[in-house]
């Protein structure tokens, strides 16, 4: 069904998105003056790279509406933890892991180190370890699972969840261990405590770091010269200690 829109905000900064809006007969287009697309925009602003991404989006909308608002609202998305693909067993603990695959490039946490983390966490019979990811990451996830001892409780959901199922499942977790990714931001939006593993980012980390007080961050030591090795600067022992620190504090 063909629909007509009076106003469109461009949160991405591509030329193609602006052209699509214009060809789609959106009457008023608001966006940042990037990628030589200024002539396609009715309301345009110069981007400030020092702004957090959320501030950039909010500033774009707020400036169009005459700077009506002063504070950012909480970032939330609808969810229903009761519809999670995996549910808790007898009061146990659900711990999600998203280490990324080759598609995450320099943000991917090495498989052998990830296996070390999960093996230590899965020692407790009350811990169920859940692996998340999209279909392109299944080979990496399968490789990780193959390195784990048989005694653990593992559920590999890589490539098996729709977006709503992913959101509901992350909402049901007691803790998510993740690289800088969409699952990290989903956890922030549904109130799930998370540990973010931060190496070399293709963007300023301060510009994407979730604005919540239940996020925990483990950063690379930065001792490696090449960017592709920076995630190795986060020892498994450091992640393991942080996981148990958070789970223990939540119990008390």
SS (H, E, C) 106-128: HHCCCHHHHHHHHHHHCCCCCEE
Q: Where are the domains of the chain?
A: 7-64, 81-251
* Weakly modelled stretches of the chain, pLDDT under 70: 1-2, 250-252
Q: What is the mean pLDDT of the chain?
A: 93
Decide which of 3.40.50.300, 3.40.50.2000, 3.40.50.1820, 3.10.450.50 is the CATH code for 81-251. Answer: 3.40.50.2000
pLDDT at 41: 97
Is the distance from CB of 230 to CB of 200 less than 8 angstroms?
yes
pLDDT at 252: 47
**Main-chain dihedrals φ then ψ at residue 180, nearest 5 degrees:** -60, 115
Is the distance from CB of 194 to CB of 178 less than 8 angstroms?
yes
pLDDT at 216: 97
Nearest-angstrom CA–CA distance, 130 and 156: 6
pLDDT at 77: 96
**Cα Rg of the chain (Å, integer):** 21
Nearest-angstrom CA–CA distance, 176 and 94: 9
pLDDT at 152: 87
């Amino acid at each position: 069904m063909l629909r007509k829109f009076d106003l469109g905000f461009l949160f991405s900064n591509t030329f193609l998105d602006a052209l699509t809006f214009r060809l789609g007969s959106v009457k008023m287009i608001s966006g940042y003056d990037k990628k030589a697309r200024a002539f396609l925009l009715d309301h345009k602003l110069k981007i400030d790279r020092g702004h957090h991404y959320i501030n950039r989006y909010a500033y774009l909308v707020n400036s169009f509406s005459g700077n009506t608002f002063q504070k950012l609202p909480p970032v939330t998305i609808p969810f229903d933890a009761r519809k999670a693909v995996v549910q808790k067993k007898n009061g146990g603990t659900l711990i999600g892991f998203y280490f990324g695959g080759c598609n995450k490039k320099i943000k991917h946490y090495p498989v052998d180190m990830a296996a070390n983390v999960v093996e230590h966490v899965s020692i407790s019979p009350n811990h169920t370890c859940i692996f998340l990811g999209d279909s392109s990451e299944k080979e990496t996830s399968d490789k990780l699972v193959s390195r784990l001892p048989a005694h653990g409780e593992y559920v590999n959901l890589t490539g098996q969840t729709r977006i709503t199922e992913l959101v509901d499942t992350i909402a049901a977790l007691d803790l998510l261990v993740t690289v800088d990714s969409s699952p990290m931001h989903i956890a922030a939006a549904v109130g799930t405590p998370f540990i973010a593993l931060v190496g070399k980012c293709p963007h300023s980390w301060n510009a994407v770091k979730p604005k919540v007080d239940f996020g925990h961050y483990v950063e690379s030591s930065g001792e490696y010269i090449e960017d592709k090795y920076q995630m190795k600067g986060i020892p498994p022992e450091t992640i393991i200690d942080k996981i148990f620190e958070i789970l223990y504090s939540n119990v008390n």
